């Protein structure tokens, strides 16, 4: 269960980090990855997508193991909060290292 959540979290983290790094390669100012994580296409859309994916993954895993699906959804929501916190720190640090301001 933990392995699947970590794999999903790393996969989701690649999107804003790669956006920030590709923007750096294209000589665009810092903030693309942070904007993707927080504001694009609307406020907290990517975090909402992460919440849905973590909840669905954990609901499926809990159903397979015989645990309540609602408990799996709550575990997925908790994983998504932890993921968002770590993703914000990682993308924010990359943003700051590129010269951006929070």
- More confident: 53 or 100: 53
- Listed residue (86, 67, 102) closest to 16, CA to CA: 86
Summarised one tens digit per residue, pLDDT across range 65-100 is 999 999 999 999 999 999 999 999 999 999 999 888
pLDDT over threshold 70, residue 102: no
The answer for residues whose C-beta is within 8 angstroms of residue 8's C-beta and 6 or more apart is 53, 54, 57
- More confident: 13 or 24: 13
How is the chain split into domains, by residue range?
2-97
**Considering the entire predicted model, what is its pTM?**
0.92
The answer for residues whose C-beta is within 8 angstroms of residue 68's C-beta and 6 or more apart is 62
The answer for residues whose C-beta is within 8 angstroms of residue 28's C-beta and 6 or more apart is none
- Give the whole-angstrom CA distance, residue 31 versus residue 97: 11
> Which tokens belong to 49?
């997508």
């Amino acid at each position: 269960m933990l392995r699947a959540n970590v794999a999903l979290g790393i996969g989701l983290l690649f999107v804003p980090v790669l956006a920030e790094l590709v923007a750096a390669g294209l000589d665009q100012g810092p903030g693309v990855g942070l904007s993707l994580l927080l504001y694009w296409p609307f406020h907290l859309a990517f975090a909402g997508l992460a919440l849905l994916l973590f909840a669905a993954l954990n609901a499926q895993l809990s159903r397979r193991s015989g645990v309540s699906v609602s408990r799996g959804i709550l575990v997925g929501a908790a994983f998504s909060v932890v993921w968002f916190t770590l993703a914000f720190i990682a993308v924010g640090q990359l943003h700051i290292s590129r010269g951006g301001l929070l």
